[in-house]
Amino acid sequence: MTTNLPGFNRRALLLAAGAACAPAFVRHARAADVPRFALGIASGQPRADGMVLWTRLTGAALPERVAVRWEVADDERFTRVVARGEEIAESDGAHSVHAEPRGLKPDRWYWYRFSALGQRSDAGRTRTAPAADADASLDFAIASCQRWDDGHYAAWRDAAASGLDLVMFLGDYIYESAARPNRIRSHEGPLVRTLEQYRARYAQYKSDPALQTAHAACPWLLVWDDHEVDNDYAGLVGQSLQADFAAQRAAAYQAWWEHQPVAKAMRPVGPDLRVVGRLDWGRLARIHLLDDRQYRDPQACPRPDRAGSNTVRTADCAALADPKRSLLGPTQERWLAEGWDLERPWNLVAQQTLMARFSWRDPAVDPTYWTDGWDGYAPSRERLLRDVAARQVPGVVVLGGDVHTNYVADLKPDFDDEKAPVVASEFCGTSIASHGLAQERIDAALPFNPHIKYGRGDRRGYVRFRLDAKRLDAQLRVVEQPLDAGSAVETAARFVVEAGRPGPQPA
C-alpha cells in the first residue's frame, strides 16, 4: 500500500525552496556565501530498492571537480541516515550530480540532501517503488509544457502539496525561444542552440521556487518533447533544416541529462540518449515511457522551405497514409508490442502528445489533420491500437501533453467507425503554463471527433490521478489566474476508468 507521508511538513519545504533562490540577489558575497544549491534538488526513476538523486552546483569559481556528499534518511531530521555516499561533480557535466542509492526498502518514503563546499542543500522527500509482487496503489500527476514567459507555475505548488507518489513529466520542460517583449517574465538570451545556452535556459527554469518545490516533493519520471531541443524537430531534422542539427541535438540532450534526476548511465553519446523505459509499480501497473521525437520520420507535407508541422487535408497529402512512416520508429514499436503487461491490471503509457484522432473538419467530407501529432502517423497509431486489441492488453491508459489542452478520449483502432470497440483510454493533459488554442476552434471541431469526451484549451494546469486495482480516478486541475504565482487551483472535471472497461467515464 502507498500512503501519504505522515511527517511531511509542507510549509517547511515551501519555505526552504523559496529561500534557495533569494541569495542570488546578494552582491559582492564572499565565496562561502555564494549559493551552491540555487537550482534545488530532485529525485527520479524510483525502483523497489532505490532511486536517482539530483542536484547541480551553482555559483562562480567552481573548481573543475567538486566532491558532493549525499545522504538518505528515514526521517525529516536525518536522525536515522540509511544510506550515504559521495559523487564528483565535474565541469564537463555542468557540475551536476546523479547519485544512485541502492539497498533501500520497497514502498517507503525517504528524505535526502546534499552537501559540498561548506554548504548543505535543502532536504527533499522521495520514495521507492513497491516490490514487484506487492499490492499497491499510486497517486500520480502528468504535466507538460511550462513555457516560462507565458505564465507562472501555481500548478506546481498545488501538485507539490497534493500527496503525490510520482510526477510524470511528458515534455517541453524548457522552451528554446528567444526573449520576447512585454511578457509576464522574460526568457534570458537568444534562441537556444549551444550547450552553454541550453544549460543557461535550464538554470533559468529551475530557479522557479514552485518548480523546485514540486521536484522536492516526490520522485519524477521524465520524457521529452520538441522544445527541449528545437520546435517540431523530427529525428535528425531541425525545423529550420539547420545544417548542424546533430550537434545541436547532442548539446540539447547533454543539457537535459545534466538537469534531470535520471541515471548516470543515460548520459548521451553524441546525439543519442535513450529515454524509453519501463517501471513496474508493484502488482498494480506497468509504466511505459515512450519517445515520440528521436526516432520518428519527418512530418508529412510540410510548408515550403522548412520542416515541421502543418495542418493538411488528407486529399492533399498522400504520405499521411503511408504505412512505412512511424512516430516511434520500428524498433520502439516492436519494443512496446513485446512489453505489454498481460498480468497487471494497468498499462500506463507516458508519451508526448494526443493519440486520439482529431480532425479539424468533418472527416466524412474533408478529413484535415495536424501533422506533428499521431494524426500525422495514423497507420503507426492503428498498428499500436490493433495490437492492444489483439493481445487483449489490460488497462491501457495513454497519457500525453504537447497540445496545451485537456483532452479525455476513447481510443479505438478505427475512429471512423462509431461502433468500433474502445480498446484504451486517453488523458492528454493541458500545459503547466504555455498558452493554449482559442476555445472556439476546439469547440468547432469537437463534433467531428465524438470519441473525444472533453476538450478545453483555455485552462492551464495538470492532471492528478489516483490508481488502484479497481479504478483510475482523474481530476483535471486548472489554474484560476495563470499570471499569478499564488493563484488558486481548482478541479475542472473528474473522470474514472474502471478496470476491465476501457474508456473514461464522467465522474
Task: Please give the backbone phi and psi of residue 215, each rounded to the nearest 5 degrees, phi first.
Answer: -65, -35
- Residue 172 found at the interface with Fe ion (CB under 5 A): yes
**Pairwise CA distance, residues 5 & 7, whole Å:** 6
Site string for Fe ion, 426-465 (x = CB under 5 A): --------x-------------------------------
Of 338, 348, 407, nearest in space to 374 by CA: 407
The three three-digit cell numbers of residue 410, written as one number: 476513447
How many residues bind Ca ion, per CB under 5 A?
4
Q: Is 110 helix (H, G, I), strand (E, B) or coil?
A: strand
CA distance readout (Å), 386 to 123, 189, 272, 359? 46, 46, 30, 20
Element (H, E) at 85: strand 81-90
Which residue, 139 or 372, has its beta carbon nearer to Fe ion?
372
Q: Identify what 310 binds: Fe ion, Ca ion, none; CB under 5 to 8 Å per kind.
A: none
CB of 97 to Fe ion, least distance (A): 28
Q: Considering the complex, what minimum distance in angstroms separates the CB of residue 100 from Ca ion? A: 30
Query: Residue 402, SS3?
Result: coil
Q: Given candidates 208, 230, 402, 468, which one binds Ca ion under the rule CB under 5 A?
A: 402
Residue 399 Cβ vs Ca ion, minimum distance, rounded to whole Å:
15
Query: Within 373-392, which residues bind Ca ion (CB under 5 A)?
Result: none
Q: How many CA atoms lie within 13 A of 332 on its CB side?
A: 23
Nearer to Ca ion, 121 or 309 (CB): 309
Per CB under 5 A, the list member of 145, 218, 398, 479 interacting with Fe ion is 145
- Minimum distance from CB of 300 to Fe ion (Å)? 21
Nearer to Fe ion, 225 or 280 (CB): 225
Indicate which of Fe ion, Ca ion, none lies near residue 351 (CB less than 5 to 8 Å, by partner kind): none
Residue whose C-alpha is closest to residue 69's, from 119, 20, 2? 119
What is the closest distance, in whole angstroms, from the C-beta atom of residue 402 to Fe ion in the complex?
6
| One-letter-per-residue 3-state SS of 303-352 | CCCCCCCCEEEHHHCHHHHCCCCCCCCHHHHHHHHHHCCCCCCEEEEECC
Rounded-to-10 torsion of CA 216, 219, 222, 227: -10
Contact predicate 408/473, CB 8 Å = no
Minimum distance between the CB of residue 353 and Ca ion, rounded to whole angstroms? 7
Which of the 8 DSSP states describes residue 50? E
Asked if 372 is part of the footprint of Ca ion (rule: CB under 5 A), the reply reads no
Nearer to Fe ion (CB atom), residue 17 or residue 433: 433
Q: What's the min distance (Å) between Cβ of 226 and Fe ion?
A: 8
Q: Which does 212 bind (CB under 5 to 8 A by kind): Fe ion, Ca ion, none?
A: none
| Nearest 10 degrees: Cα torsion 210, 211, 215, 221 | 140
Q: Is 20 exposed, middle or buried (0-12, 13-18, 19+ CB in 10 A)?
A: buried
Closest approach, Cβ 434 to Ca ion, in A, equals 9
Question: Does 228 sit near Fe ion (CB under 5 A)?
Answer: no
Residue 10 burial by Cβ neighbours in a 10 Å radius (0-12, 13-18, 19+): middle
Which residue lies nearer to Fe ion by CB, 95 or 460? Answer: 460
Of 40 and 376, which CB lies nearer to Ca ion in the complex structure?
376
DSSP 464-482: EEEE-SSEEEEEEEEES-T
Count of C-beta atoms within a 10 Å radius of residue 419: 6
- Identify which of residues 158 and 292 has a Cβ nearer to Ca ion in the complex: 292
The contacts of residue 11 (CB under 8 Å, 6+ apart) are none
Q: Which of residues 213-232 bind Ca ion (CB under 5 A)?
A: 225-226
We find the least distance from the C-beta atom of residue 303 to Fe ion, in angstroms, to be 19
Closer Cβ to Fe ion, 327 or 467, answer by number: 327
Q: Residue 212 corresponds to which cell in the numbers above?
A: 523546485
When CB distances are held under 5 to 8 angstroms depending on the partner's kind, the choice from Fe ion, Ca ion, none that residue 226 binds is: Ca ion
Shortest separation between residue 431's beta carbon and Fe ion, angstroms: 6
User: 153-172: which residues touch Ca ion (CB under 5 A)?
Assistant: 172
Residues engaged in binding Fe ion (CB under 5 A): 145, 172, 434
Residues engaged in binding Ca ion (CB under 5 A): 172, 225-226, 402
